[in-house]
Amino acid sequence: MFIGTEKLTHIYMPGTPFANQALKEVTFELSRGEFALVIGPSGSGKSTLIQHLNGLLRPSSGKVFFEGRAIGSDKAELLALRKRVGLVFQMPEEQFFSETVYDEIAFAPRNLGFEENIVQTMVEEALDEVGLDTTVLPKRHPFQLSSGQKRLVALASVLSSKPEVFILDEPTAGLDPSGRSNLYGLLKRLNRENGLTVLICTHHLDEAAALTDTVLVLQGGRLVLKGPAEKIFSHREQLYQLGLGLPAVTEIMYGLSEQGMKVRTNIYSLEGARQEINKLKGRCEK
Amino acid sequence: MSRSITLGQYFPGQSLVHHLNPRMKLLSLLLVLALLFSLQSYAGLVVLFFIALILITTTRVPFRYFLRGLRPILYIALFALIIYFFFTSGGVVLLRVGFITVESEGVREGTFIILRLVTLVFYSLLLTLTTTPLSLTYGLSYFLKPLRYIGMPTEEVAMIMAIALRFIPTLMEESQRLMRAQVSRGADFESGSIFRRAKSLVPLIVPLFVGAFRRADELALAMEARGYRIGARRTRMYEDSIAPRDWLILAVLLVLLITSVYLGF
Amino acid sequence: MVNRSEFMIEAKDLVYNYPGEEETSFPALSGINLAVRRGEYLALLGPNGSGKTTLMKLFNALLVPSEGEVRVGGISTADEDKTAEVRRYCGMIFQNPDNQLVATTVEEDIAFGLENLALPPAEIQKKVIAVARMLGLEQLLQQPPHMLSGGEKQRVAIAGVLAMQPRCILMDEPTAMLDPAGRHDVIETVRQLNRDQDIAVVHVTHFPEEAVFADRVIILNQGRLVMQGRPQNVLSDIPLLYSLGLQGPAAAELAALLRKDGFNLPPQLIHSRELVHSLCSLEPKS
């Protein structure tokens, strides 16, 4: 088991009238290099779940695993864990506090105790990874950047500690279409080329679905569906009942299929749909 | 997560107590407190206590909220109990263990004090649990109104207090989120010398302020877009008009207070 | 004052420079000529920084034009004595639901605008209840805003604007921070108001799927109005949308790809069901 949970239960404010069971016996695991998606209506426990994976929250019961070992409470161990499991919060640019992009990205490596010359390499590599300029940009004030650049710097500020697992909560919130497609391009590269295990919580499946290996569906704190993307997205009715829906392209394929056309419905990208529909040519004549 | 943070203690409801005028509720509470402290007899106290219980039932606020409100006075109550039980003499000796004796007078007085304390807390909670923080704020600001004559913008101050109340849960949530985000990046807010710890708060405080200013900016725009102008006359949805029943309750309390003081109950 | 023109909002030769930014390469807005008709649903698209939000603020008299003129209900927004009237005529919903709810309970928030008009309390109460009933918020009236879901918060914000009986609602990315169910609720609410009460809507969005139902789509880029027309015309112009860093609806994007592959699809496809229908009529069913 690379990373995962076993019967993870979390209760906020236990023992008070406001006690709220945010997660109920959630069990799942991911292998190294997977691209996973956590979906569910707001308030279904997605944020609570991912905050357990780098030890920010402690389970009320059950366990969280990383590389086969249960996450403990030892401080040094937790710091080491947070280096390896990077977590990007929603609207991460709202955490900026430094006067330069460089300092912002150097925050994590410095906290990990790296020497300044190594920190510098780590910062440059992180900027490079997200596709930002490493010469002028590091000296600029993070607040002066465009919204798309800010988001990339925020991602770099987590990537700078060289995580093996990269977890993002609603990574495209507030971005325009080109920002969104740029960001998913980056996540794809990090996953396919650099081998990062990526886990995303999002409401917008259009860009994410085509990249995904595994999907976890949460509802009211319970893991109601989990499995390979194709299998989960075939539970169309159930997803609709949860108010989640499918990527728009997939919907078109379902529409065609319902009209009696012989097309696969497990299609999540425009290019996939194009190829599938092209197969129809010259096949349907009767 | 946000659902776990309550604003003030307000528990929504439609009871008579909920609908009383907040200003009058404040005044009534003052009178009840005065009454509580002027009462000398058990009978009077027990009556007030039962009235509190009846009122609590009518509000339909779960009783555990009232019990929870007692928690802060637990130690005071315990302390009072010990003092009175063990150190007040008089009456019949009820218990003797070694040199410690518990006498009936002590038990009587101790119970009286605690009952008074519990009743006091119940009445205070009756106010805070049935009145929105906003109404309370406006109620209080009413009594500050005379300050307007010396140039205090009391209306605006009340609006500021109301907005602060509205945003306390939001900002608490935000600071928690920021803290976790920075801890995720390896920040350590707990160890090291005081100086180090103070310095480690920078990554928390800077974004918290930046965020609060951005919020304030957006909120100001939203308020302006909805026609709010400083100094302009505005009304309130619930003009806290004073109904005859408010006067009635106040009058009854006043009579009770005067009688109890006069007759030395 | 009676508005005799058929236009809710009219912008004439509008230019706007943010103070202190007159020297930058292009003004926030320039050369905008635009009229919003009675009961019209207008979708406004454009990349981040294209001036969409600025335009909305100008329509609400939160900003005053540097050059040219904006008239709302026949009143110039530069007329400071009539600002209140402009804002009553034309309400505004902002992107972040958290930063626009002022009061500590839902009902008091809906009442906020009415209180600013200094209406008698009885009238305010009557209107608040009527509006809450219309939008299905009766059960939430006593709730504090932070206990609501994102979609509920936005509907409360809409209720607050609606209570003022506006002739036009401006919405600046109202669904950007919502889950699919919340998005659906907000969009349906607004479409219904537009249909049943003839309230004009100006809706800024990054999601082309939200623009397909509009009467007219406007595209801004670098402060200029680059295209406007019926959704079928604008949203099916995929090359133009891509060149501005925007997206089209999935159906339009897929149709564009399929046309390249020789599918003889009609132009101006933007709805998924249209695409399905067209493909089915091309192919004999097998």
Q: What ipTM score was computed for the predicted complex, to two decimals?
A: 0.89
Q: Residue A204 maps to which CATH number?
A: 3.40.50.300
Residues of A with CB below 8 A from B206's CB? 96-97
State whether A140 and A268 are in the same domain: no
Instruction: Give me the average pLDDT of each 10-residue run along chain A (286 residues).
Output: 93 75 94 95 91 94 92 90 95 94 96 94 96 93 92 96 96 90 95 96 90 95 94 92 89 92 91 90 50
Domain count of the fold of chain B: 2
Give the residue numbers spanning the domain of A265: 247-280
Note whether residue A47 is domain-resident: yes
State whether A76 and A164 are in the same domain: yes
Domain residue ranges in chain C: 7-248, 249-286
Report CB contact under 8 Å: B207, A95: yes
Residues of A with CB below 8 A from C181's CB? 41, 243
**Which among A282, A177, A221 is positioned nearest to A41, based on CA atoms?**
A221
State whether B219 and B250 are in the same domain: no
Please state the rounded mean pLDDT for residues B100-111.
81
Note whether residue B184 is domain-resident: yes
Give the residue numbers spanning the domain of B220: 154-225
A134 compared with B81, residue with greater pLDDT: A134
Please state the rounded mean pLDDT for residues B182-206.
86
Note whether residue B114 is domain-resident: yes
Report CB contact under 8 Å: A157, B207: no
Q: Which pLDDT score is estimated for A174?
A: 86
Of A41, A177, A249, the CB nearest to C245: A177
Note whether residue A176 is domain-resident: yes
Three-state DSSP string of chain B: CHHHCCCCCCCCCCCHHHHCCHHHHHHHHHHHHHHHHHCCCHHHHHHHHHHHHHHHHHHCCCHHHHHHHHHHHHHHHHHHHHHHHHHCCCCCEEEEECCEEEEHHHHHHHHHHHHHHHHHHHHHHHHHHHCCHHHHHHHHHHHCHHHHHHCCCHHHHHHHHHHHHHHHHHHHHHHHHHHHHHHHCCCCCCCCCHHHHHHHCHHHHHHHHHHHHHHHHHHHHHHHHCCCCCCCCCCCCCCCCCCHHHHHHHHHHHHHHHHHHHHCC
Q: Which pLDDT score is estimated for C2?
A: 47
Report CB contact under 8 Å: C145, B221: no
Here the tokens at position C215 are 């009467």
State whether A110 and A168 are in the same domain: yes
Those chains having 3 or more beta-carbon pairs within 8 angstroms of chain A are B, C
- B184-219 residues labelled b (16+ CB within 10 A) or e (exposed): bbbbeeeeeeeeeeeebeebbebbbeebeeebeebb
Q: What percent of chain B has pLDDT over 70?
A: 95
Q: In chain B, what is the straight-line distance between the N-terminal and C-terminal CA atoms, in Å?
A: 50
Q: Which pLDDT score is estimated for B132?
A: 78
Task: State which residues of chain C have pLDDT below 70.
Answer: 1-5, 21-25, 283-286
Query: Which is it for the CA torsion A52, A58, A62, A66, positive or negative?
Result: positive
Q: Which pLDDT score is estimated for C286?
A: 43
Report CB contact under 8 Å: A147, C263: no
Domain count of the fold of chain A: 2
pLDDT tens, residue by residue, B28-56 = 898 888 888 888 888 888 888 999 999 99
Report CB contact under 8 Å: B2, C146: yes
Of B97-106, B120-129, B182-191, minimum mean pLDDT range: B97-106
pLDDT tens, residue by residue, A249-273 = 999 999 999 988 889 999 999 999 9
Note whether residue B39 is domain-resident: yes
Nearest CA to CA, how far is C206 from chain A (Å)?
6
At the fourth CATH level, the homologous superfamily of domain C7-248 is P-loop containing nucleotide triphosphate hydrolases (3.40.50.300)
Note whether residue A84 is domain-resident: yes
Note whether residue B4 is domain-resident: no
State whether A135 and A81 are in the same domain: yes
